[in-house]
Structures are given as C-alpha cells and as structure tokens.
Amino acid sequence: MAKIELIQGDITKLEVDAIVNAANKTLLGGGGVDGAIHRVAGPELLAECKTLNGCETGEAKITKGYKLPVKYVVHTVGPVWHGGNNNEPGLLAGCYKNCLKLAIDNDIRSIAFPNISTGVYRFPKEIAAQIAIESANEFLKQINKFDKVYFVCFDEENFSLYQKKLSNS
Ligand code: ADP
C-alpha cells in the first residue's frame, strides 16, 4: 500500500509530482495556502486557472505547476463549515477522493495535501484530520498506484492531531 507520510511545513517547497491547493470556487486565487501557491507558481498559474470556469465544492481540477517544483497542482474546493449539518464531512471526503482520482488519471505517483478547509473555511481540525486520513486510506485500499501520499501540516495543532491519528490508523 502507498505510504502515507506526515510533513510539517510549507507545501510550496515540496518536490513531488503534485500538490493540492485548497482553493475557492472561482479558482482565481485567495489567501492562505492558495495565495502561497499562486505567489510561487507565478502569473501563468492564474492564467490557466481562468480557463477552468471555477470548481464546485468537493470537486477537483488540475493545472500545471509552473514555477513550483511540481508537475501539477490539483485544485480542490473544501466546504465552508456551517455547523456540520450541511454535508460538510461528505464534501470534505469528496475533496480528498476526487483529488486522488484525478491524480491517478494523470499518472501522478506522489501527491501532497494541505489541511483542506481548516483555515478560513473554519472546519474543526480534529474532524477534518479524521476525514482526511480515512478518505485517503479508503481510496488507497481500492487503487494503489501511488508511491507516496503526504499530509502537509502548516500549523502545530494540525501536525500533532495528524501525528496522533496516523499512529493509531
Ligand atoms: P481553507 O479556505 O480551505 O480553509 P486555508 O488556506 O485558509 O484554506 O487553510 C487551509 C490550511 O492550509 C490551514 O490549515 C493552513 O494552516 C494551511 N496553510 C496555509 N499556508 C500554507 C502553506 N504555505 N503550506 C501548507 N499549508 C498551508
């Protein structure tokens, strides 16, 4: 089975086949990890994103990586947390699964995820970490063509949550 690995740091520094962007529905850039990815990738990324006509929550779209040290960026739109009764968990699971599916379709063998929805979109970090790990594990049980799947935690709180959950999974 593909190894899941935990990293603490800045996702834009990783040399993998693809990194995942926690974007918004416009795909035209934003704050947080989205802003960081666009800053490093350069204006050509925004130009390609403009051709994609946005992205629905829970879905994913792919672009090249431009000045990032990756071949591809997989853009996904996490759900905004509105209390948990609006299918937020299902939509977040969809993000992870649809990114992995798109990665397989593009022969991506190593992919790195940020902690989707846990910033501006306010998804509770503990529930989000559980969903991220479970969705990835479920997907990898079915399709196992990856060398590595990374979870990249920028903040200490997410990092220690993932550390605990991955050591138990
Ligand atoms: P969302 O709108 O999906 O909540 P954010 O970008 O606000 O997206 O936050 C998602 C996660 O990305 C947060 O946990 C935040 O700490 C993290 N993050 C912010 N910048 C970076 C970065 N450069 N590399 C990796 N993760 C990052």
> What are the DSSP calls for 104-140, one per residue?
HHTT--EEEE--TTSSTT---HHHHHHHHHHHHHHHH
**How far is 38 from 45, CA to CA, in rounded Å?**
7
Known catalytic residues? Answer: 34
Residue 35 Cβ < 6 Å to ligand 1: no
In this predicted model, what pLDDT tens digit does every residue of 102-129 receive, in sequence order? Answer: 999 999 999 999 999 999 999 999 999 9
- Residue 98's pLDDT is 98
* Domain 3-168: top CATH class: alpha beta
- Residue 152's pLDDT is 98
Contact yes or no for 153/10 (Cβ under 8 A): no
Which three-class secondary structure state does DSSP give residue 92?
helix
- pTM of the predicted protein model: 0.98
Spans of all domains in the chain: 3-168
Q: Which atom of ligand 1 is nearest to the CA of 118?
A: 4
- Residue 107's pLDDT is 98
Residue 158 Cβ < 6 Å to ligand 1: yes
- Residue 137's pLDDT is 96
Q: What number of CA atoms fall less than 13 Å from residue 63's CA on the CB side?
A: 29
Average pLDDT over residues 134-143: 96
Q: Is residue 1 predicted with pLDDT exceeding 70?
A: no
Distance (angstroms) between ligand 1 centre and the Cα of 144 equals 27
Distance (angstroms) between ligand 1 centre and the Cα of 81 equals 15
- Residue 168's pLDDT is 78
For the CA atoms of 26, 134, 81, 53, what is the dihedral angle to 10 degrees? 10
Average pLDDT over residues 32-48: 98
In this predicted model, what pLDDT tens digit does every residue of 44-103 receive, in sequence order? Answer: 999 999 999 999 999 999 999 999 999 999 999 999 999 999 999 999 999 999 999 999
Nearest CA-CA partner of 53 in 38, 34, 75, 33: 75
